[in-house]
Amino acid sequence: MRLRAALIGVAGVLLSALGALHAPHAGAAEYNRRMVLIRAHYLCDWAPSHLDIRENPMTFCKSLTAWALEGYGYEKIETEVMLWWAFWIRKDPALGAAYLGKFEDAFAAEQREMQLAAEGRSPRMKARARRGEAVARNASMMSPTDLCSALNYYRLTAFRQELERRHVLSEEEWHLIDEERLKIGMSELAMVCSWGKPKRVDRVVNSAPEHKMHVYAEDRIVHTEGGHVIAVQDADGRARPYT
């Protein structure tokens, strides 16, 4: 237990020192609290392509959303991340610190890109916008599902205007879409507008009405029957009331 606490302390000091480089002086505590979940999700995406995680499996990754939703608090997430980094620091302090530094550099670069995107100055986002504008020229010929997928990805008003012209979504569904939320009973179409196109769709054989399982990132699964959302299931397999 003493070794565990010491390793958490070492990883915590490194994370705090590196994270402080990117936190604003005003409201730094609140900033860091909000960034805990974002940083953890980014680590889960970054680490598999930079480290051999077979040595140190990231078992916490599938639970991040569930912990946040159930109120376990950011402290549990932060502790699990620190323990994961502690493995590498214990194995080789210099190499562990180097891995952590590389991650922080990558995370900081991603945050800068997001800031530029928010300010409309990101080259990557500008390129995406140009592609979206090209796709939008054919909006009148696109299916409602393709329009919703494009709206969620490109965020261009042309796709929304075409959907509104066709009156395929209710006013309540538009409110949910604007907030990127799901609600039991909303249509599959509104689901795609709100959360985007799923990674895959599994169908239950011989079910009536048709039952589909729409698999999204972080192993979230949206269940629909007869074209409407009936449940949202997180990585731990439990359904949650998304409202």
Mean pLDDT of the chain: 82
Nearest-angstrom CA–CA distance, 224 and 243: 15
Token digits of residue 20: 């402080």
Residue 155 region by backbone torsions, left for phi larger than 0, else alpha for psi between -120 and 50, else beta: left
Q: What is the mean pLDDT of residues 125-138?
A: 88
pLDDT of residue 72: 57
Nearest-angstrom CA–CA distance, 41 and 28: 20
Confidence of residue 84 (pLDDT cuts 50, 70, 90): very high
Nearest-angstrom CA–CA distance, 222 and 202: 10
Residue 184, CB half-sphere, CA atoms under 13 Å: how many? 8
| Domains detected in the chain | 2-118 (no CATH), 169-240 (3.30.1450.10)
pLDDT of residue 3: 41
Closest C-alpha to 166, from 184, 139, 138: 139
- Between these two residues, 208 and 239, which has the higher pLDDT value? 208
Q: What is the mean pLDDT of residues 178-184?
A: 89
Residues 6+ apart with CB under 8 A from 189: 144, 145, 148, 168, 169
Percent of the chain with pLDDT over 70: 77
Token digits of residue 164: 């509104």
Q: Please give the model's pTM, rounded to 2 decimal places.
A: 0.56
If you average pLDDT over each of 64-68, 74-78, 192-196, which comes out highest?
A: 192-196
